[in-house]
Amino acid sequence: MRQGKTGTFGPNLYQVVGRIAGMAADHDYSPALAGAGFAWTPELLDRWLADPQAILPGTEIEFVLESAQQRADVIAYLIAAGKR
């Protein structure tokens, strides 16, 4: 974790599906994520949660979900919660 983060461990994920990566307000992203330049799809999120470094080498997220079922459940939750 670098200095200067704004008090959370990760960026706000509200409506992250479809959002351009690295664009949450008030989050101090790594250069890797800040320069990503793609929008998050369910497929990319699945790969991200399985192996974030494979998507963006140098990213600072230190979290992996090895279970494909758990990844699918989390992504379904993010989509559903984003509609509320």
Binding interface with ligand HEM (CB under 6 A): 9-11, 13, 16, 21-24, 29-30, 32-33, 40, 45, 48-49, 59-61, 63, 74
CB of 4 to ligand HEM, least distance (A): 12
Number of residues in the chain:
84
Shortest distance (Å) from residue 25 CB to ligand HEM = 10
Give CA–CA dist 49/55, Å, rounded. Answer: 10
CA nearest to 69, candidates 49, 39, 41:
49
Please state the closest distance from residue 83 (CB atom) to ligand HEM, in A.
Answer: 16
Query: What would the two tokens of residue 38 be?
Result: 């793609």
